[in-house]
Structure 1
Amino acid sequence: MLKKIFMILLFFSQSVFAGDKIATTCHGCNSNDMKIRAGNVGWGEHGQTINVLDFTQSKIETYENYTEWDQEHGYVSHREIIRVKTSETDKKIFQEVSDALNELGNNTSSSIAPPDVINNVWDLPNYSRNKNNLTDYIKDQLWVSSITIEAVKDKARKLGFLSGELNKYWLPTANGGKVLFSMKIDGGIIIIELLEARDSDNNTVPFKVSDIGTYKFNNHSNIGAASGAFSRFGFSTSIRVGAVTIIDCDSSGKCRQVPPPKSTD
């Protein structure tokens, strides 16, 4: 009797969740990569739809979780991720989101963040106001799509995409640097996240102390801005043109390189 009840509950659960839709992204992927990605997220209930979204190539592929049950013993005897035809509705929604993100990419690559938004990428580390000014500029000035940013979130949800990175872009800045940012959905809201910044001397700007490395400066405007950044991290520096290593000295006069040099052993 208990076995029969267990089997009834098992199949009831299977039918309730059949057809659930989830989505993930796979940037610059071929079909084999997309199937692997679908398999990584799609081992759910039988009939579950998995949309794999590639906004860098404006491509969507749809897969389905195929599950066979051992009815006698009550466990999954076979699972497989199978590619299926993407619904026309999902194709249309995906294309609307993809077009909007492509438009953001085109606007970003052809724009330069003005000096009143960010004068030098070295003004970003440990300076929340400058970071917020830049993300506000991206959302308010570079997003000119016919659909709103909030609509992107809602349309992505209809595809089954609830959280994660949609795409990322390089934005040139006024002083010859550039900033890499991503548009992502997190906790049900659209977020612009600053991922990386490079100055006009091609130095990668540290966003936190643990990212500090060795730098080479040729541009005097970068030297002044970098000195300010290191000061906000708590380091007093004297930077000149050429290779630069940050040394941290405590009140006793004991100094250490930041970060510590790698062992050659």
Structure 2
Amino acid sequence: MDNFIFGQYSPGDSFIHRLDPRNKLFLTILIIVASLLIHSWVSPLILLLVCAFAIQTSHVGWHFLIHGIKFFIHMILLTSLLQLLLSRSGKVYWYFWIFNISSFGAHIAIMSFFRFIIAIIISMLFLLTTSPIEISDTISSLLNPLKFIHVPVEDISLTISIALRFVPTMTGEVHRIMDAQKSRGVQFHKGNVIKRIKMSIPIMFPLFINTFKRAEDLASAMILRGYTGNRYRSSIRKMHWHINDTIVFIAIILIIILIFLLIES
């Protein structure tokens, strides 16, 4: 849990921070989709270079992303291992019972590993360089056409904004509960997987109780301030598309097109 930073915002004034949040969200989704469609060994390396350049430009610090990846590394390795051992196509190098290692399985496992890494890095970079308010305004702007079919766009964007704001709060709550458990002699980093899962159960109950209390307090505060759902609300911050957004947008589009035309074709 100490490494979990997913969903937290890192304030700054870098080139990436100043980009239009709508542009960042669209390019984030585009890179994730592109990473799911590639099959060549070279393509994920190019996308990783793009991610590395964006990280360097954002000045958020590599340690943030490395710590965030550590939180997901067990899930990534487990998924890749299952892909390696359960895929039967291609040349088989080793087999035992239902498990085998084949050329196709090795390829799929490595590609799955890269896809997860790319998706996590680019998603974390977006969340680290885009404030919850900007994300809420972006989602509200992109979903605005759905108002014509009576979709509660304002409520959806508010819900997402509150959820993102609660991530650092819940992370801090987990740390406080873990510190209290450690002071009583609990050792979370010792024992096998099953024992660690059992030790995490005492964390969940107080976490859920405290989370529900905070949600109830927030709901009461919103009611007292006269909040009513599904109403249009103005924003003090206006989103503007600048020349830098156009340059970055065109550059990413061209890179992805070249990947599929020259490498994946």
Higher relative contact order (CA 8 A, sep 6+): 2
Q: TM-score, normalised by structure 1?
A: 0.27
Q: Which has the higher helix share?
A: 2
Q: TM-score, normalised by structure 2?
A: 0.27
Q: Which has the higher strand share?
A: 1
